[in-house]
Structure 1
Amino acid sequence: MTGLREAWEEYRRSPVAVIALLVVLLIVAAAILAPVLSPQDPYDQAALDLMDARLEPGSEGSSGTIHILGTDNAGRDLLSAILYGLRTSLVIAITAGMTALLVGITIGLSAAYYGGTLGAVLMRIVDLQLSMPAILLALVIVAMLGQGIPQLVAALVIAQYAYFARTAYGAATAERRRDYVEAALSTPLSGARVLWRHLLPNTLPPLIVVATVQVATAISLEATLSFLGLGLPVTRPSLGLLIANGFQFLLSGRYWISVYPGLALMVTVLAINLVGDRLRHVLNPKRRR
């Protein structure tokens, strides 16, 4: 508890980081409460009216609903669509990020602990993947697997696990040479117990920072793939699809269809990255000293 209190005291010294954390919490709360906060279910076809298509922000719809942010070309309330889109993006990003974290930790710790040929082969595979842009790798995988949330999560996991593996390997390699690990290896403890009980806890701080950044990256990748028509199907809420739907109307003056979802995406990614940047400072023992 003392360590957490000290970390929080260090974190709160940056007003920007505190504001970013509050923004992230508000976004998460809004996404969870989307069915309660939304004026309509934007993906219930029976609730949509094409007469309400492309209404300006603040306009009243045929049902009497005030569309604060306007509507898109299908008559969906844009505020509702953004809240549902944030919900989908966060679920996909957190699921993919946590799965990639588990896969990366397993590979990185195993390579650091066992070393030798196994470690060299595992890390060469990781290095090969890190040499390729994540967006291109995700594009190829999604093109092979098809559209859908499970396919998109699988593509993001494959595209991102290498970052966790490389970070876990670097941190575990440094810890592997310490006296307490050598002492644990001289006892009858199994290799798996040494890995998860001794090496893992001391490699978590840098992995937490990487996980924060990769969640923001996953949100951006999902939006990019959906914008290109390769991510989620049109029947699913997605910020990328909302931006794509309104892109063709930008020159006609109906800016809100693309701009507001774009702003929501930008604020979300920026806030998460600012939190991750501050965590990098707080969890780095050298910088804190």
Structure 2
Amino acid sequence: MATAMETASPSRGQKLREFWQDYRRSPVAVISLAVILLLLALSFGAPLVTPQDPYDMAALDWMDAFLRPGTEGSGGYAHVLGTDNAGRDMLSAILYGLRTSFVIGVSAGALALMAGICVGLVAAYSGGRIEALLMRIVDLQLSMPAILLALVLVAMLGQGVPQIILALVVAQYAYFARTTHGAATVERGKDYIEAARSTPLPTRRILFRHLLPNVLPPLIVVATVQVASAIALEATLSFLGVGLPLTEPSLGSLISNGFKYIHTDRYWLSIFPGVALMITVVAINLVGDQVRTVLDPRNRR
């Protein structure tokens, strides 16, 4: 047993090293990964690196409203990205908003992944009427714009982080279900699945111990794209005023708050949160694109 474990461990390590060697062939992807890690560190360490808690009303000074970038406020520190109409430091607000975006994006992506895997595996393994019913439901949902479905669900569930996560899970799980079903349909006719079916193994063991590991690579790629999509959807909902309330940090709320000043000299109110959102979504998509290229050699150029 020990010998087998010792043999297996280097194999996994070798695969990781090979994956990283292939991944770092794209400097853009490496830079994008570094940007994501930096944004994660800054956003989750925001209470330590920002000059104020922008959502603590007691910490705000209305006399600091609309300070231009680089101006020193009443607190004795320079507001690098300026302040908004409430005297809120924009850099602090953006980092707090990014933290919320990452929490919502990763949580919604992970839950949607698990739900989609269950639906896709059950449909592919069962076949017949169950497969037809489940996949017709998935196809029907995929025919609807995700933002429209999310809007309806948030309107029904109300505002708040848990409500938005639930709405995004319902809006996004179909992408994972379709991908899982497609990959599992190819695998279910292979000899190892037929051999597992002929044994007294429970169905859940066959699904999650034998079938699932062979359909994971495409799901990893879809997951990175859907995390970026969830972040953008949350910002869109908050921008429209149906996502997070103004008392909670959100890049969409910041952009919406400054949108009415977009044609004035107070450009920083919406430009800086918009740039932060764009950099985050683009970086995640670039990482996902490189992961897709590494996992599928046919995509390499």
Amino acid at match of 2:202: S
Residues of 2 paired with 1:190 and 1:141: CA distance? 36
The equivalent residue for 1:267 is 279
| Residue 217 of structure 2 is aligned to residue 166 of structure 1 | no
Using the aligned pairs only, state the percent identity.
70
Query: How many residues in Structure 1 have an aligned counterpart in Structure 2?
Result: 289
Amino acid at match of 2:247: T
| Residue 134 of structure 2 is aligned to residue 122 of structure 1 | yes
- Pairwise CA distance, 1:288: 6.3
Q: For 1:4-26, what per-residue CA distance to the aligned partner results, in whole angstroms no more than 9, with x for missing partners?
A: 11111111111111111111111
Q: The residue matched to 2:92 in structure 1 has which SS?
A: helix
Q: For 1:72-107, what per-residue CA distance to the aligned partner results, in whole angstroms no more than 9, with x for missing partners?
A: 111100000000000001101111110000000000
The equivalent residue for 1:252 is 264
| Residue 50 of structure 2 is aligned to residue 38 of structure 1 | yes
The equivalent residue for 1:79 is 91
The equivalent residue for 1:187 is 199
Q: The residue matched to 2:263 in structure 1 has which SS?
A: helix
| Residue 204 of structure 2 is aligned to residue 204 of structure 1 | no
Q: For 1:218-257, what per-residue CA distance to the aligned partner results, in whole angstroms no more than 9, with x for missing partners?
A: 0000000000000000100000000011111121210001
Where do 5+ consecutive residues of structure 2 fail to align?
Answer: 1-12
Residues of 1 paired with 2:135 and 2:78: CA distance? 55
- Pairwise CA distance, 1:286: 4.2
The correspondence for 2:232, drawn from 205, 220, 225, is 220
Residues of 1 paired with 2:19 and 2:300: CA distance? 10
Q: The residue matched to 1:252 in structure 2 has which SS?
A: coil
The correspondence for 2:157, drawn from 133, 145, 160, is 145
Q: For 1:155-212, what per-residue CA distance to the aligned partner results, in whole angstroms no more than 9, with x for missing partners?
A: 1001000000000000111111111111111111111100000111011110010000
Please report the TM-score for the alignment, with normalisation by the length of structure 2. 0.94
Q: The residue matched to 1:152 in structure 2 has which SS?
A: helix
Residues of 2 paired with 1:70 and 1:241: CA distance? 17
Residues of 2 paired with 1:33 and 1:208: CA distance? 27
Deviating 4+ runs (over 6 angstroms): none
Residues of 2 paired with 1:54 and 1:254: CA distance? 7
Please report the TM-score for the alignment, with normalisation by the length of structure 1. 0.98
Residues of 2 paired with 1:147 and 1:97: CA distance? 19
| Residue 254 of structure 2 is aligned to residue 242 of structure 1 | yes
- Pairwise CA distance, 1:285: 4.8
Q: The residue matched to 2:200 in structure 1 has which SS?
A: coil
- Pairwise CA distance, 1:56: 0.2
Q: For 1:114-165, what per-residue CA distance to the aligned partner results, in whole angstroms no more than 9, with x for missing partners?
A: 1111111000000000000000100111111111111111110010000000
Residues of 2 paired with 1:201 and 1:60: CA distance? 55
Amino acid at match of 1:18: V
What is the root-mean-square deviation in Å for CA atoms of aligned residues? 1.1
The correspondence for 1:232, drawn from 244, 265, 289, is 244
The correspondence for 1:16, drawn from 18, 25, 28, is 28
Q: The residue matched to 2:215 in structure 1 has which SS?
A: helix
| Residue 63 of structure 2 is aligned to residue 54 of structure 1 | no
Residues of 2 paired with 1:99 and 1:39: CA distance? 34
Amino acid at match of 1:34: A
Residues of 1 paired with 2:299 and 2:245: CA distance? 45
Q: For 1:32-78, what per-residue CA distance to the aligned partner results, in whole angstroms no more than 9, with x for missing partners?
A: 10111111000000000111011000001112121000001111000
| Residue 193 of structure 2 is aligned to residue 178 of structure 1 | no
